[in-house]
Structure 1
């Protein structure tokens, strides 16, 4: 089957919540002064989650080896969730709203037809960060949750995704990132405790050399 014929057989998600999608994009049409800031934020805003994970690592330097292992596992868990989402995209093969609803208002340019919509990759990254940070620092996770909801909204606002693409991303990313972070941190804690006594000591802890313990 050719790429073109596969794209023609792709799932049309407008039947799920197309009306809600157009309600949001009509709001985008009526708020042109927000279009550029939100279009910039929808991509640049992902940097917030990187900053929050860096803050988690920085704070973990004052805590035990398990906390540091969770901090180091967080970005890996996000990548794992994103990889699972990419597989799901190929399996579901939902075409972007700009193809299913071409007359709706779209801030974002329409991507290639084989750049599928479900689940939202941006939202997957955002909600995966929420789950990974939950195990490390509940306050940072709460902040990440606020920005994840905002990120999901912007993906619909710019016309890149349906609301169910965002919801699906959250339902996929939260358990995958949570479980991946728990597993990796459990495996890595003894190694982190050992590395804290070596040349990586300044990166992994602020405690004096020899004063480390894995919880």
Structure 2
């Protein structure tokens, strides 16, 4: 497979360095919170999708089909992002620029472009918005904060995050909408023992 060596430092290395230098001057408590968020924040999207599924039980077969498709869309976005990542040999910025970062720098060969965290967060946020806009008021800012945190802790260049967010959104949007066609299948499930999982009444 042909791979491309992407020189991320020439794209936005200066912005990356400015952000990581700012992180070094930030209060320790802030960096601790950002580290926890970047490591465990994706769990919030799982909780939001679970809430979306629970609410969809009261909203009909179409809403339930979309809610059930949300995690599938997230997995698809991750796979798509990882496939794209395999075509680009972009070293992590902390390896290339030798900056001091909030979190330990990933090993050589752990490619940087595009950001998996950002793709997953964006895919989840888009799917959640399509399932229920109220939850979207939480999911969308959380996705943007996840992307920003990946730069703050030193794991990614800004362009890694932007492209990851775009990939996640572009994969999740059509897949979640396409799931509406599965409403008849949800109706059939509601006539089985699985009814409590797909309908509240």
Pairwise TM-score range, normalised by the shorter structure:
over 0.9
Q: 1:61 aligns with which of 33, 57, 60?
A: 57
Structure 2 gap segments, 5+ residues each: none
Task: List structure 1 runs of 4+ shifted beyond 4 angstroms.
Answer: none
Partner of 2:125: 130
Structure 1 unmatched runs, 5+:
208-215
TM-score, normalised by the number of residues in structure 2: 0.94
Q: SS of the counterpart of 2:47?
A: helix
1:205 aligns with 2:191: no
Give the aligned partner of residue 156 of structure 1.
151
Q: In the alignment, which residue of structure 1 is the partner of 2:44?
A: 48
**Contact between 1:85 and 1:121, CA under 8 Å: does it hold in 2?**
yes
The SS at the match of 2:105 is: coil
- Asked if the contact 1:28–1:105 (Cα under 8 Å) also holds between the matched residues in 2, the reply is no
> What is the TM-score with the length of structure 1 in the denominator?
0.88
Deviation at 1:112, TM superposition (A): 2.4
The answer to whether the 8 Å contact 1:130/1:142 transfers is no
Per the alignment, do residues 117 and 85 of structure 1 end up closer, same or farther by CA in structure 2, a change over 3 Å counting? Answer: same
Distance (Å, rounded) in 2 between the aligned partners of 1:78 and 1:162: 22
User: Partners of 1:146 and 1:36 in 2: how far apart?
Assistant: 19
CA RMSD of aligned residues (A): 1.5
Once residues 202 and 160 of structure 1 are traced to their aligned partners in structure 2, the CA distance between those partners, rounded to angstroms, is 42
Matches within 5 A, 1:1-40: 10-33=5-28, 34-40=30-36
Query: Matched residues in 2 for 1:126 and 1:170: separation?
Result: 7
Displacement, 1:37? 2.1
Task: Supply the distance in 1 between the matched residues of 2:22 and 2:150 (Cα, whole angstroms).
Answer: 13
